[in-house]
A and B are shown apart, each in its own frame.
Chain A
């Protein structure tokens, strides 16, 4: 049972607690309902407050915010193009790396690692998923950035067509969108592995043994049986990792460079929606606060839809396996 995506209880039989009719209308019942209403109010307030504070910007310049470039701090215009594309770019690269490597890792943990080690590794992965993101950011900024500047960036620039993809490596710190993508992929790997490992490990042993008995090799079992069976849940894990990547704030704020440029070359410093809010909020006043709230609304929409989708997929996966 995963904590990150808990089981779906909606079809479970109801515990008899509140089915005793009038007798259950006690103070205890009302206390529970009151707590739930407080939680509901906080959630509604959360969404409502951010929406309300972003309204001035949405009503005046919705187009600038979605597609404009340039962020003129005190008065505007506030263009969100650099942040939106930066978010897409870094998350896409990070997700690609994390899914390919994470899938291999999960398969190794479930099928290659001896049973005794498996629990140890699973615990380690969960612990790494709990490491605060600022620590990853610190490591990226103080260790990876100098290394990128000295070793990786010059090497990448010697590749053909490098100028088109990467641009000129001209920064003094080594912070860039590429570095942000690298740090992001390291950060979301534990999350992706934690869920995909769970999804893969609950593929029924019967299916695997049946396939082995027909003479399939290890890889054939994995490719023809395990991965198709776990497909839906793996998509769920992917969406959740993507939600993490898009919402990541302080680590990216440290390593992306924090410049709202619209060059989008990977070796240039750039920014993402979440990290832009974090770095700009300190000096923001008036319209700028509203514009940052509007960016927050964008982030919220993206994140909530990804979370809902991943929840739906993982729950569906569990149902499929329950039938098998």
Chain B
């Protein structure tokens, strides 16, 4: 900057300085832009990296699973153990499909009434109990599912002497579903506009009638959505049922019989030395994923339709 002092008029000095500042700022801006481009590109790369394994997983699931599912008797036959004489004899998975349905239905029967009512209580009460239960529900909803299995084993299988059975697995799944249903029901009931409730009260309805006849019907979409999400989570869980259902090889719906389940079958057959069984697990996985996707997509679509209708 020493040459600035040799210049004559203040106007020229100003011009010179402005020019220099302009050049610096152009350089700085170029550097900032370049840096921004690089970082933003890296973010896009991260998106691609996230997508790649998930797309691959879905592709392989369909490519390997679809032929198995289309195979005759996959849904209707009982499994057969491959042997040296018939290495490709795998049969179907009807016992596991029935087992999964039975487990989920019993679990839903146990979890839904308690869960929905407790959720309504959390939404409508400001007691200490409600505040504590809210945090408990949050924490339980994230608990590792293997712990539900330990609980069901210690309580149902051992302490109640029920033994390895469908009902023990359902109990584990019910414990898994319960906090999810409680939370979603509370959110649904809280989402009902207070004007509806006040209108009911203003017309002279008793508070519990308002809750039963006005608030619950208005919240039913959210409640059902939560229930479907809970079911779709329960149906795919392996760890809780792994410890307690025993793994039956016949079609059975009785609560005290041991049953099999789709995820359990995957867990057991994936490590099999028979290639035919290792092929078959892809079909089971495809069925499982299809179940889960259909359930959660329908819940989503239904919820958004209702929301638009309102």
Contact = CB atoms under 8 A, between A and B. Distances in A.
A20 B207 CA distance: 7
A112 interface: yes
B155 A49 contact: yes
Interface in A67-121: 100-105, 107-109, 111-113
A323 interface: no
A305 to B, nearest CB: 9
B50 A36 contact: no
A244 B143 CA distance: 9
Nearest to A14: B126
Interface string B197-209: 1100100001110
A27 B117 CA distance: 13
Interface residues of A, number: 101
A307 B150 contact: no
Given A131-B289, A293-B150, A299-B144, A39 B115 contact: yes
A139 B57 contact: yes
A299 B146 contact: yes
Given A49-B155, A249-B239, A278-B239, A105 B121 contact: no
A48 B54 CA distance: 39
A39 B40 contact: no
B43 A112 contact: yes
Given A39-B137, A132-B237, A296-B147, A105 B46 contact: yes
A296 B123 CA distance: 32
B289 A28 contact: no
A40 B61 contact: no
Interface of A: 1, 3, 5-7, 9-10, 12, 14-18, 20, 23-24, 26-29, 31-36, 38-40, 42-43, 45-46, 49-50, 52-53, 100-105, 107-109, 111-113, 123, 126-128, 130-139, 141-143, 186, 189-190, 193, 217-220, 222-223, 240, 243-244, 246-250, 253-254, 274, 277-278, 281-282, 292-293, 296, 299-300, 303-304, 307-308, 311
Interface of B: 32-33, 35-36, 39-40, 42-47, 49-50, 53-54, 56-57, 60-61, 113-118, 120-127, 129-140, 142-151, 153-155, 159, 175, 178-179, 182-184, 186-187, 190, 194, 197-198, 201, 206-208, 210-212, 226, 229, 232-233, 235-239, 242-243, 263, 266-267, 270-271, 278, 281-282, 285, 288-289, 292-293, 296-297, 300
